[in-house]
Amino acid sequence: MPGELACIETSCRARYAITDVLYNCPSCGGLLEAVYDKPAESAEDLKCLWRERRMSNDPLDQSGVWRYREFIPFLGDLSHVVTLREGCTPLLPGKLAAEYGGLDAVVFKHQGFNPTGSFKDNGMTCGASQAVALGMSRVACVSTGNTSASMAAYASSAGLQPVIFIPYGNISFGKLAQALEYGAKTIQVEANFDQILALVRTLAERLGIYLLNSINPFRIEGQKTIMAEMLDQRDWHVPDWVVLPGGNLGNISAFGKGLRELKELGLIDRLPRLAVVQAAGSAPFYDLMHSSDRSRLNAIGHPETLATAIKIGDPVSWPKALHEIEASQGVVEKVTEQEIADAKAVIGRCGIGCEPASAATLAGIRKLTAAGIMRPDADVVAVLTGNVLKDPGYIHEYHTGVLRDPQGTPIQSNFGNPPTVLPNDSERIAAFLSS
């Protein structure tokens, strides 16, 4: 049974066919989610089946998303799957990062090990597969860079035309370069992410293009498997906290849904607390969680942060995210540009590395432990959402001491590691290395 689409609004809960091309509920405008009957297998059978598949050479089993296909059963025909062997990302301990964050230990679930270097691949394999199943020929997204890189790769590999919209001058070259290389028709619009999303939604409907932003419920299904894989790798031992950066809030929605469903299926017996960290200049969800009225999010008209991946002022998935934070007794934190930059350098010193948005996790952990909200002996998994090479310009500027925040204030290179220029002279180089 491939399931149905359901409106998330408790006052509505209207149901639609899984093959309807919908992003919002036609009845009340609410967000939609995929819902399914319980799988036939028991929790123990699923655990065994998913573990055994790691030994298989079948492309579906080698994917860290489709290996968990009983957990995301929206496709009637698995021959529609588009996979680049996404997922299968490691859990990496970071000793220095733990010390910096005020924890005894921390483990990073590094989604930057994905085929296009970000967690978006977990969702995109599902979104692109649904596009194929629906017989679409063109797919589109607006993006701060990672969604577009991922969509371009998956669409091209499936023979679909990728059309991407990006805020002109506001995405890193690494991400733009990926979109061009993977063959996307790339439109740079002189507007911010939120303004372009509104534009693309009307254009997609008018031109019959399938929209693959995280408002697409199948993207969320794929991103759920990040939590399934993390727990599988920990022999289903539930951490106390899962920490992640928040932008458009699709990922927190996916993690929360995934964890709740794993609990309902009996694969875990409790939920970890979810902690979302936003950049202080782009923190509308933080503001919502700290306001007395949570019935409506006040968008930020001009979001600012050097962590361009999360430079979003009007996150579409906030109602889902709010539900997941409340259901998991979670928290939302915000961190400054300086805090992100230093945390990122510390993650780098662990030999791990990540892009700026991902480092908001460690910066947030440091604040949460200092505030006594997170205990030093807590079992914490932080999700690094993007690869270190996504934004090399930022890294070079930080280590050479010229990085400035969006207001032009210099960022201190507290963990700076600038390169040294020396002449081609062995004596001088030897003297430098012995000093």
Strand segments (E) across 256-369 = 273-279, 331-335
* Cβ contact 161:140 at 8 Å: no
| HSE-CB of 351 using CA atoms within 13 angstroms | 4
CB atoms within 10 A of CB 416: 15
Q: Please identify, using beta-carbon distances, which residue of 249 and 267 lies nearer to ligand F0G.
A: 249
Closest of 252, 239, 270, 293 to residue 103, by C-alpha: 239
**What are residue 333's DSSP bridge partners?**
277
Going 162 to 168 to 172 to 177, the CA torsion angle's sign is positive
The smaller minimum CB distance to ligand F0G, of residues 118 and 369, is found at: 118
Cβ closer to ligand F0G: 82 or 357?
357
Q: For residue 24, which phi and psi values (nearest 5 degrees)? A: -130, 160
Residue 17, helix vs strand vs coil: strand
Provide, rounded to whole angstroms, the least separation between the CB of residue 223 and ligand F0G.
8
C-beta of 322: minimal distance to ligand F0G in Å?
13
Residue 165 pairs in a beta bridge with: 142, 187
Q: How far is the CB of 139 from ligand F0G (least distance, A)?
A: 14
Q: How far is the CB of 247 from ligand F0G (least distance, A)?
A: 3
Q: Which is nearer to ligand F0G, 225 or 251 (CB)?
A: 251
Binding residues for ligand F0G (CB under 6 A): 118, 120, 143-147, 214, 245-251, 309-310, 355, 357-358, 385-386
Distance from C-alpha of 60 to C-alpha of 249, rounded to nearest angstrom:
28
Residue 167 CB, shortest distance to ligand F0G, in Å, is: 10
> Could you give the count of Cα atoms lying within 13 Å of 419 in the half-sphere of its Cβ?
5
Nearer to ligand F0G, 46 or 209 (CB): 209
DSSP 141: E
CB of 96 to ligand F0G, least distance (A): 21
CB closer to ligand F0G, 216 vs 251: 251
